[in-house]
Amino acid sequence: MSNALLIRNRNYRLLFSAGALTNLGDGMIVLALPWLASLMTRDPVAIAAVAAATRLPWLLFSVPAGVVVDRADRRKLMARADLMRAAMTAAILLLALSPHPPGAVWLLAGLAFLLGSAEVLRDNAAQTILPLIVDKDDLEAANGQLWSAEQLTGQFLGPPLAGILIALGIALPFGLNIVSLSLAAGMVWLITLRPVPPKDQNFVKALREGIAFMRSDRLLLRLAIVLGIANFIAMATITMQVLLAQEVLGLTSAQYGLVLSIQALGAIAGSLFAPVLVRRLGVHPCLYLSVGGWAVGYGVVGLSNSGWVMGGALFMVLFAAMLWNVITVSWRQRRIPSELLGRVNSIYRFFGWGSMPLGALAGGAVVSLLEPGIARDLALRAPFLLASVACVLLLIYAIFRLRLD
Q: Which amino acid is at 116?
A: G
Segment 144-192, tens digit of pLDDT: 788 778 777 876 788 778 888 888 888 899 999 999 999 999 999 999 8
Tell me the CATH number at 242. Answer: 1.20.1250.20
The Cα 111–Cα 120 span in angstroms is 15
Is 201 within the bounds of a domain? no
Position 257 in a domain: yes
Closest C-alpha among 194, 203, 302 to residue 248: 302
Mean of pLDDT over the chain? 86
Distance CA 31, CA 166 (A): 9
User: Is position 229 within any domain?
Assistant: yes
pLDDT of residue 1: 45
The answer for residues whose C-beta is within 8 angstroms of residue 203's C-beta and 6 or more apart is: 67, 71
Q: Is residue 107 included in any domain, yes or no?
A: yes
Residue 200 in domain: no
What residues make up the domain containing 344? 2-190+208-401
Task: Identify the pLDDT of residue 405.
Answer: 65
Cα–Cα distance measured from residue 376 to residue 137, given in angstroms and rounded to the nearest whole number? 51
Number of domains in the chain: 1
Q: Is residue 297 part of a domain?
A: yes
pTM of the predicted structure, to 2 decimals: 0.72
Is residue 197 domain-resident?
no
Q: Cα separation of 241 and 38, whole Å?
A: 12
| 233 lies in some domain | yes
